Amino acid sequence: MTQKSSNQMWGGRFAAGPDAIMEAINASIGFDRRMAAQDIAGSRAHAAMLAAAGIVSDSDAEAMREGLLTVLSEIESGEFNFSTALEDIHMNVEARLKEVIGAPAGRLHTGRSRNDQVATDFKLWVRDQLDAVDGALQALMRALVSQAEAGADWVMPGFTHLQTAQPVTWGHHMMAYVEMFGRDLGRVRDARVRMNECPLGAAALAGTSFPIDREMTARDLGFDRPSANSLDAVSDRDFALEFLSAASICAMHLSRMAEELVIWSSAQFRFVTLSDRFSTGSSIMPQKKNPDAAELIRAKIGRIFGANVALMTVMKGLPLAYSKDMQEDKEQVFDAADNLMLALAAMEGMVKDMSANRESLEAAAGSGFSTATDLADWLVRVLDMPFRDAHHVTGALVAMAEGKGVDLPDLSLADMQSVHSDITGDIFDVLGVHNSVASRTSYGGTAPVRVREQAARWKEILG
Q: Please list the active-site residues.
A: 161, 282
Closest CA to 171 of 157, 186, 154, 159: 154
Q: Torsion angle, CA of 424/426/382/436, rounded to 10 degrees? A: 140
Q: Residue 3 in contact with residue 83, Cβ under 8 Å?
A: yes
Cα gap 167→79, rounded to integer Å: 61
Compute CA distances 84 → 26, 81, 88, 191, 322, whole Å. 9, 10, 7, 33, 22
Compute CA distances 373 → 313, 410, 448, whole Å. 48, 16, 19
Cα gap 220→51, rounded to integer Å: 14
Q: Give the strand pairing for 197-198 and 225-226.
A: parallel
Q: Is the bond preceding 438 in cis, omega lying within 30 degrees of 0?
A: no
Q: For the purposes of burial, counting CB atoms within 10 Å of the CB of 304, is it exposed (0-12), middle (13-18) or buried (19 or more)?
A: buried
